Amino acid sequence: MAQINLIPYQVETYKDHADEIPAGVQLIKAPDKWRKGYKGNQVVVAVIDTGCDTTHPDLADRIIGGRNFSRENYGLSTDLSDENGHGTHVAGTIAANLNDNGVVGVAPKAKLLILKAFDKEGKGELESIIQSIQYAIRWRGNRNERVRVISMSCGTSQNNKRLHQAIQQAVKHNILVVCAAGNSGDGIGNTTEKNYPGYYKEVLQVGAVDFDLKLADFSNTNDEIDMVAPGVKIKSTYPGNKYATMSGTSMATPHVAGAAAVIIEQMEKEFGRKLTEPEIYGQLVKATIPLQYSKRIEGNGLLMLGSDSSSSNQNSTLSQGKPYIISEASI
């Protein structure tokens, strides 16, 4: 049976306590949107990953539903437990609560649909991924909510037709699919490293930079990169009510997925209608600034949610590497 794995990532540190807006969330200037009232309110993001610690205090009330498609506790569809940690970390970067404790995600009012497709070793079957995507397309909430964004940080070197078709179907249903570029890069921009589903034209493929806005050495480069986001030493939620700092394009991807939720809320309020998938993608591209790398490295540039985002403002982001304490008053 064909297999697909989590993109390898590095765990830097574990902590029992946190009380900050993570540096990556600051770097993309998500708090600028929060001050204007845009926090991804009620936008549903499906996270196809290793599950999630659904009791984590930063995540518990952000989760709107879920299903287990993995072979771990196979047949127990309600088992969303995360024995790996990757899924919980990704979920926190997308939507951890702004509650004066712990960490906060890019879209702290978004809702998470947890689709467990990988086991504790980060291994999954292609069929589980396909089923997760199909479920995300069909899913409806109690108030007829629909999935608007899918976040996936997995990869295979094989181009699978059925996986591609599932993603194409999601896009046709106006779901933005955000995927990690992969961590097999060599730090050289003119070489090509392909990782599927990230390399498919229909997805938004995310590369990683550090807090000095330098390309992460591990980040894949290719001609389908759409943008880059913080992916080095990213602090987020971890199972057991803990926190961890991790590195990888897996960590860059949820910054963009969360940003999509914020942009959907803002733009749909301004336009007075639902956005199509190409419109969501276009609005995200508008929220980037160039880093002067080649397109194969940065695509359209660094994700930057702040209203003053522009190339002339690029240098001001360099001071954003240190986290600051969470406080509702501060935003």
How many domains does the chain divide into?
Answer: 1
Q: How far apart are the first and last CA of the chain?
A: 49
Angle between helices 249-271 and 86-95 (to 10 degrees): 30
pTM of the model: 0.92
Strand 288-289 with 302-303, pairing: antiparallel
* DSSP-derived secondary structure letter, 158: S
What are the catalytic residues?
49, 86, 250
Q: Are 102 and 96 in contact (CB under 8 A)?
A: yes
Strand order of the β-sheet with 123-125 is: 123-125, 3-6, 154-155
Give the closest residue to 250 by CA, choosing from 231, 224, 276, 228: 231
Quote the pLDDT of residue 36. 96
d(CA 17, CA 243): 7
d(CA 16, CA 129): 32
Amino acid residing at 119: D
Token readout for 238 is: 């971890």
Q: Are 277 and 175 in contact (CB under 8 A)?
A: yes
Q: Which residues of 283-292 are buried (b: 16+ CB within 10 A; e: fewer)?
A: bbeebbbebe
Beta bridge partners of 324: 21
d(CA 102, CA 123): 29
d(CA 209, CA 54): 29
Quote the pLDDT of residue 307. 52
Q: Are 71 and 125 in contact (CB under 8 A)?
A: yes
d(CA 303, CA 266): 16
Element (H, E) at 6: strand 3-6
Q: For residue 27, give the 3-state DSSP assignment.
A: helix
Q: Are 208 and 232 in contact (CB under 8 A)?
A: yes
CATH number of the domain residue 229 falls in: 3.40.50.200
What count of other Cβ atoms lies within 10 Å of the Cβ of residue 308? 10
What count of other Cβ atoms lies within 10 Å of the Cβ of residue 191? 12
Residues spanned by the domain of 293: 3-330
Q: What is the pLDDT along the chain (331 residues), one digit of tens a residue?
A: 578 888 878 888 888 888 899 999 999 999 999 999 999 999 999 999 999 999 999 999 999 999 999 987 765 788 999 999 999 999 999 999 998 889 999 999 999 999 999 999 999 999 999 999 999 999 999 999 999 999 999 989 899 999 999 999 999 999 999 999 999 888 888 889 999 999 999 999 999 999 999 999 999 999 999 999 999 999 999 999 999 999 999 999 999 999 999 999 999 999 999 999 999 999 999 999 999 999 999 999 999 998 544 433 443 333 334 443 443 444 4
Q: Which residues of 2-22 are buried (b: 16+ CB within 10 A; e: fewer)?
A: eebebbebeeeeeeeebebbb
* DSSP-derived secondary structure letter, 283: H
Contacts of 248 (CB under 8 A, 6+ apart): 7, 8, 9, 10, 153, 180, 183, 208, 218, 231
